[in-house]
Structure 1
Amino acid sequence: MLRQGFSFTTRQDYENCLVTLCENIRSEFSSDFTSLHLGETATLYDDKTIGLEGVARILWGLVPLWAGCGSSFMQQEILAGIKAGTKSSNPGGWGKLCNSHQAFVEMAPMALGLLLTPEKVWEPLSENEKSEFQAWLYQINDYSLPVNNWYFFRVLVNTALQSVGACNTEHKIEEDLQTIESFYLGDGWYSDGKTKQRDYYISFAIHFYSMIYVKFRKESDKVRCERFCTRAKEFAKDFIYWFSENGEAIPYGRSLTYRFAQCAFWCATVFAGVDTFPLGVVKGIINRHFRYWFSKPILDRSGGLTIGYGYPNLNMAEGYNSPGSPYWAFKSFLILALPESHPFWSTKEEPLPKLDSVKKLEHPMMLVSRQDKDNVVVLASGQYPGFDPVHSAEKYAKFAYSSRYGFHVPRSYYKLDQAAPDNMLAFCRDGVYFVRRQCKEVIVEETSIKSIWSPLDGIEVTTVLEICNKGHKRTHTITLDFPCEAVECGFGIPVDNYRDLTKDCQEAKAYIATEKDYSIIQLLAGNGLAGEFLAEPNTNILYPRTAIPYYKFSFEKGTYTICTYVEAGAALRPK
């Protein structure tokens, strides 16, 4: 059921959705239109920048809308904001920036406006206003940026300024593209900087911006653009495995509050004219993805996008998530730049092509299991963001991630229900739970992943994950320098009334079920006690109330081997 009433079948459906979402927040503009006040929560950056973020991020949708059908919806508000925000004498403007300023991020959709619709955001300005706008944008060349996908913001800004004849920074574009080139791993994959981070920033950032670059520079930078197109096609062959038959994508990594930006890569390839799969297949991925998200309670009572994932949830958010941050999802409205006459809109939506039931993804260090069409599961080891944003261990280092069941982030590490360590082996020492974070070594085979890791000094674990039947097997060899307790957890499943949960916890298994879902963890080797618990509310990113099955182990100093089988799925499973 679509909660918001959009069927996401026609171009008009997408336009209606975008316009509705923008109308719902239109009254929150400041009097000079330099800010959108969408909530009271804070970020690492200041309130002025939070307001700018709100204004800028809706441009990811408005600019394609203007380009695709000639609409001028909200153009006057945006123009007024640009004039006042970039006016150097305005104390309430966006002002002078500094190294790694968040405003550099928000320049990217403005650059798209200059590239795609200069008649809306550039040509109506006076010469003095153009000079002020140019000077404010040009600051991105005066300061250092994080060495990751941010370098593409500068590429886009400089490309846009050149496109309107404002300045020539070709040398800077080339330097930044060379830096981005150093992130390339092969087979269409990049890392987000010189890190082990290969998450959605590869799809909705690096490849997304590459496709915009291709759209506007394919003649002047032909060789590089051809390379970007080839890489997008290669990446698509792996990335399609992150999406289920029903439209949802694997929740993995940081910035999940951007929600339907998960399909922005596919929208950008169509925008750039890059054929990754048959157009009907790509259309199906996009349409089903939008339908999935708009069947979820992701809007507040006023119809604004909320911080969270499957529902409003500050617990899972990063420190850079402001009330306007979720509008980064508007990147996927890039398809609105396609006019009604584009084949995308008349092509029949198609299901996913036949995909391997088990797929090794070498560069993100993953194994994907698609043996249940309603639940895509990823086994993962080895990724980790270098700057360690909040809940990094939970977002990158769990053993398994599920499109159907999401994952949990802790409220604390002092009680099991508050730590909620689904799909983790958590060690308890002095009343505190410790989990896997970074791996010392990772080997990815065709059907298994081996990792060596240490949750804290004095404990080392070698873990082998293997896809098996409709679930997976975990074998841990644990060496401890001191006595310790540990808990191994399975998938959390949504539950309404915990008293109605079916529970069967015996020596050889911990099994829980509702009328719609089941989760089981079986002990194949080792000595442990089976159990289950109601997780602290709002720790799961998809469901506000969940239960988790587990095994508890008591170890003395020494070396132990334990082995479990873990599975979860729709409907009751025979016991």
Structure 2
Amino acid sequence: MKTFKYTVLIGLICLTITSVANAQTGKKQKIKTATTGAEDRLYWANLLYKMASPVILNLANSTLKQQMPVEVPPGQKTDFFKKVTYLEAVGRTMAGVAPWLALPDDETKEGQLRKKLRTALLKGIANAVDPANPDYLNFRTESQPIVDAAYMAQAFLRAPKALWEPLDAVTKARIAEEFKTLRTRTGAYNNWLLFAGINEAFLMSIGEQADPARLEIAKKKILEWYQGDGWYSDGPSLSIDYYNSYVIHPMLVDFFKVLSDKKRIQPEMYNTAVKRMVRYSEFSERIIAPDGSYPAMGRSVTYRTAAFQALAQVALMEKLPSEISPAQVRSGLTAVMHRMYDQCDNFDKAGWLVLGFCGAQPGIADGYTSTGSLYMATLGFLPLGLPADNVFWTDPAADWTAKKAWSGQPFKKDYHVEY
């Protein structure tokens, strides 16, 4: 445990130094003035629509496989990726937009975008599991579909009334059958256990028989890998990267919520998982530099704003620590989005995300990454699921921790926690 703490301490010192450096991209840096919460919300909504609409609208039109490019890292061939990348794009996008699409309809510009996406997505989900449709997605071969079915499951769990209940009986039965076929394969001995677990939890939530072994293994091993102070190792070995946010905290909390609701675990186990995610979210908020940049560290940095999924989910759940105001999280995340998406050319001419972190940087993509993988970025937008009259959006702009610290303002000291 001491080794872990020292490693994290050194890592966080490096993060602070790296974050404060003003990343240079060859473009003139724009200084953003404070905006209102309503302006921030419209910016978020338009950006999420820009990101998600090529996936969702093409799926609804049965043209996803026809229109979506399959960009892969240098030296990789596209043959394998074409078997899995489309489900990656759909599952990951669904998980990111689900809370937003769960909001009721209204006549605002945002409401119209939301309704358009939700209507299209419901049609697209039916296409995705229809064997006769050109966009029938592959759940049945390769291991990768275990991962992206899990993000689809997470979307259904996050927005059951918007995305699950309106589906027709045939589509629901087809989805359940596709999920059951995932049991023929296994994946890596790390965060992948959660993917198998939440797939079974989703099946249980819709009245299907879950595989108890997959539920139990996911539950026990992830808890065994808890290192303390809000950090899990990703498997037996520690990795300093963003997988606690990409996967582990948000998916464990959603997984445990189902198990708790179904009386498969004690409520305290779920509550502890939430507290650990809240603690981890404090680190996430602190790594947002004054200019909105954050460290490009560890595996899968091409997932971009998914690095803040845990913080975003804590905000969505209205569980932020008392010392961190919703407005400072909104302001910090808005700064990240402006820095990432206004100053980096992350989309191609047709509006698809490109391999990279800040712009087109295919050489930094991991060997398992393709175009569909990139739609993890939508997971940073979860607070759009809070209504426009929530304090997250109505309170005046506020400085986040790093901005306070580097401008001489008082800020909260940070100490280890024991849970």
TM-score (norm 2): 0.74
Given that residues 199 and 253 in structure 1 are in contact (C-alpha distance below 8 angstroms), is that contact kept between their aligned partners in structure 2?
A: yes
Alpha-carbon separation, structure 1, partners of 2:159 and 2:278? 27
Given that residues 55 and 90 in structure 2 are in contact (C-alpha distance below 8 angstroms), is that contact kept between their aligned partners in structure 1?
A: no
> Gaps spanning 5+ residues in structure 1: where?
358-369, 374-575
**In the alignment, is residue 286 of structure 1 matched against residue 333 of structure 2?**
yes
Match for 2:328: what amino acid?
V
Match for 1:325: what amino acid?
S
Aligned pair in 2 of structure 1 residues 36, 261: CA closer, same or farther (>3 Å)?
Answer: farther
Give the equivalent residue in structure 2 for 1:224: 269
**In the alignment, is residue 67 of structure 1 matched against residue 102 of structure 2?**
yes
Give the equivalent residue in structure 2 for 1:516: none
Alpha-carbon separation, structure 1, partners of 2:400 and 2:165? 43
Given that residues 204 and 265 in structure 1 are in contact (C-alpha distance below 8 angstroms), is that contact kept between their aligned partners in structure 2?
A: yes
Match for 1:66: what amino acid?
L
Give the equivalent residue in structure 2 for 1:275: 320
Q: Find the residue that maps to 1:185 and give its secondary structure.
A: strand
Alpha-carbon separation, structure 2, partners of 1:288 and 1:109? 26
Aligned pair in 2 of structure 1 residues 128, 252: CA closer, same or farther (>3 Å)?
Answer: same
Aligned pair in 2 of structure 1 residues 93, 20: CA closer, same or farther (>3 Å)?
Answer: closer
Q: Which has the larger radius of gyration?
A: 1
User: What is the Cα deviation at residue 194 of structure 1?
Assistant: 1.6
Mapping of residues 144-183 of structure 1, within 5 Å: 144-169=186-211, 172-183=214-225
**In the alignment, is residue 17 of structure 1 matched against residue 64 of structure 2?**
no
Alpha-carbon separation, structure 1, partners of 2:68 and 2:131? 25
Give the equivalent residue in structure 2 for 1:549: none
Given that residues 247 and 285 in structure 1 are in contact (C-alpha distance below 8 angstroms), is that contact kept between their aligned partners in structure 2?
A: yes
Alpha-carbon separation, structure 2, partners of 1:213 and 1:113? 12
Mapping of residues 108-187 of structure 1, within 5 Å: 108-169=150-211, 172-187=214-229
User: What is the Cα deviation at residue 72 of structure 1?
Assistant: 3.2
Alpha-carbon separation, structure 1, partners of 2:62 and 2:388? 34
Give the equivalent residue in structure 1 for 2:305: 260
Alpha-carbon separation, structure 2, partners of 1:279 and 1:309? 26
2:377 to 322, 326, 329: 329
Q: Find the residue that maps to 2:342 and give its secondary structure.
A: coil
Aligned pair in 2 of structure 1 residues 107, 313: CA closer, same or farther (>3 Å)?
Answer: same
**In the alignment, is residue 97 of structure 1 matched against residue 145 of structure 2?**
no
**Relative to total residues, which structure has the larger strand share, 1 or 2?**
1
Match for 1:255: what amino acid?
S
User: What is the Cα deviation at residue 206 of structure 1?
Assistant: 0.7
Mapping of residues 532-543 of structure 1, within 5 Å: none
Match for 1:15: what amino acid?
A
Give the equivalent residue in structure 2 for 1:529: none
TM-score (norm 1): 0.56
Aligned pair in 2 of structure 1 residues 162, 343: CA closer, same or farther (>3 Å)?
Answer: farther
Give the equivalent residue in structure 1 for 2:412: none
Alpha-carbon separation, structure 2, partners of 1:103 and 1:208? 19
User: What is the Cα deviation at residue 30 of structure 1?
Assistant: 8.2
Aligned pair in 2 of structure 1 residues 171, 157: CA closer, same or farther (>3 Å)?
Answer: same
**Relative to total residues, which structure has the larger helix share, 1 or 2?**
2
Aligned pair in 2 of structure 1 residues 97, 24: CA closer, same or farther (>3 Å)?
Answer: closer
Match for 1:312: what amino acid?
A
Q: Cα deviations across residues 54-78 of structure 1 (Å, max 9, x unaligned)?
A: 2333213332221124443234443
Given that residues 32 and 80 in structure 1 are in contact (C-alpha distance below 8 angstroms), is that contact kept between their aligned partners in structure 2?
A: no
Aligned pair in 2 of structure 1 residues 91, 9: CA closer, same or farther (>3 Å)?
Answer: closer
Alpha-carbon separation, structure 1, partners of 2:81 and 2:370? 10
Q: Cα deviations across residues 233-277 of structure 1 (Å, max 9, x unaligned)?
A: 332344444321222111111211111112222101112332233
User: What is the Cα deviation at residue 193 of structure 1?
Assistant: 1.1
Alpha-carbon separation, structure 2, partners of 1:79 and 1:2? 39
- When structure 1 is superposed on structure 2, of 182-191 and 111-120 the one drifting more is 111-120
Match for 1:310: what amino acid?
C
User: What is the Cα deviation at residue 218 of structure 1?
Assistant: 5.7
Tell me which of the two structures has the higher relative contact order, counting C-alpha pairs closer than 8 angstroms and 6 or more residues apart: 2
Match for 1:341: what amino acid?
D
Q: Find the residue that maps to 2:103 and give its secondary structure.
A: helix
Alpha-carbon separation, structure 1, partners of 2:248 and 2:339? 24
Give the equivalent residue in structure 1 for 2:149: 107
Q: Cα deviations across residues 388-421 of structure 1 (Å, max 9, x unaligned)?
A: xxxxxxxxxxxxxxxxxxxxxxxxxxxxxxxxxx
User: What is the Cα deviation at residue 355 of structure 1?
Assistant: 9.3
> Gaps spanning 5+ residues in structure 2: where?
1-28, 73-77, 106-113, 410-419
Match for 1:229: what amino acid?
V
Given that residues 36 and 52 in structure 1 are in contact (C-alpha distance below 8 angstroms), is that contact kept between their aligned partners in structure 2?
A: no
Q: Find the residue that maps to 1:148 and give its secondary structure.
A: coil
Q: Cα deviations across residues 421-461 of structure 1 (Å, max 9, x unaligned)?
A: xxxxxxxxxxxxxxxxxxxxxxxxxxxxxxxxxxxxxxxxx
Given that residues 2 and 291 in structure 1 are in contact (C-alpha distance below 8 angstroms), is that contact kept between their aligned partners in structure 2?
A: no
Q: Find the residue that maps to 2:227 and give its secondary structure.
A: strand
User: What is the Cα deviation at residue 232 of structure 1?
Assistant: 2.0
User: What is the Cα deviation at residue 131 of structure 1?
Assistant: 1.9
Alpha-carbon separation, structure 2, partners of 1:253 and 1:35? 30
Aligned pair in 2 of structure 1 residues 33, 133: CA closer, same or farther (>3 Å)?
Answer: farther
User: What is the Cα deviation at residue 372 of structure 1?
Assistant: 11
**In the alignment, is residue 38 of structure 1 matched against residue 33 of structure 2?**
no
Give the equivalent residue in structure 2 for 1:444: none
Give the equivalent residue in structure 2 for 1:385: none
Aligned pair in 2 of structure 1 residues 116, 241: CA closer, same or farther (>3 Å)?
Answer: closer
